[in-house]
Chain A
Amino acid sequence: MDTVIECADVTRIYSSRTLTGQRRETVALDKVSFQVPKGIVFGLLGPNGAGKTTTIRVLSTLLIPNSGKATVAGFDVVKEASKVRRKISLILGGERGLYGRLTGKENLQYFAALNHLGSSLARNRVKQVLEMVGLSSASDRPVEQYSRGMRQRLHVARGLLADPEIIFMDEPTIGLDPIGAQELRQMVPELISQGKTILLTTHYMSEADELSNRIAIIDEGTIIATGTPSEIKRQFSRVAVMEVICRRTSTEMLDNLTSITGIERINMSSDGPIHKLTIHTRPGVQIKEEVVKILEKDNIDSIITRDPTLEETYLSIFKKSE
Chain B
Amino acid sequence: MRNFLAQVYTTYTGLFGWLNWFSYVSTVIFRPVVLVIIYSVLGRFAGSPEIVRSYAIGIAAYTMAVIILPGITQCYTYDRSGGTLSFVFASPVNRFENYTARAVLHYPNGLLSFIATLVTVWIMVGLDFSTVNWGGFIAGTLIIALSITALGEFLGTFAIAFRDWSNIQTVFVGLILILSGAIIPLDIFPTALQEIAKLLPVTNGLVSLKSTFIGSPLADTSGYIIREGLTGLVYFVLGYIGFQVFEVMARRRGTLEQETF
Contact = CB atoms under 8 A, between A and B. Distances in A.
Interface of A: 12, 14-15, 57, 60-64, 82, 85-86, 88, 90, 92, 94, 96-102, 106-107, 109-119, 158
B237 interface: no
B13 A64 contact: no
Given A111-B91, A115-B92, A117-B3, 10 more contacts: A12-B254, A57-B86, A82-B92, A94-B83, A99-B14, A107-B14, A109-B6, A113-B10, A113-B93, A118-B2
B89 interface: yes
A113 B86 CA distance: 16
Given A102-B10, A116-B3, A97 B90 contact: no
Nearest to A98: B84
B contact residues, range: 20 to 34
Contacts of A90: 86-87, 90
B71 to A, nearest CB: 15
Nearest to B92: A85
B86 A106 contact: no
B84 A99 contact: yes
Max chain B Cβ within 10 angstroms of own Cβ: one of A101, A112, A114: A114
A62 B7 contact: no
29 contacts: A12-B254, A15-B253, A62-B89, A62-B251, A63-B254, A90-B87, A90-B90, A97-B84, A97-B87, A99-B10, A99-B14, A99-B82, A101-B14, A101-B19, A102-B14, A106-B10, A106-B14, A109-B6, A110-B7, A112-B6, A113-B4, A113-B6, A113-B7, A113-B10, A113-B93, A114-B3, A115-B91, A116-B94, A118-B2
Interface string B230-245: 0000000000000000
B118 to A, nearest CB: 31
Contacts of B251: 61-64
A61 B91 CA distance: 9
Max chain B Cβ within 10 angstroms of own Cβ: one of A107, A109, A113: A113
B6 A110 contact: yes
Please name the 4 residue pairs, one residue from A and one from B, whose CB atoms are nearest each other, closest first: A96-B83, A99-B14, A113-B6, A110-B10
B175 interface: no
Given A64-B251, A96-B83, A97-B82, A110 B90 contact: no
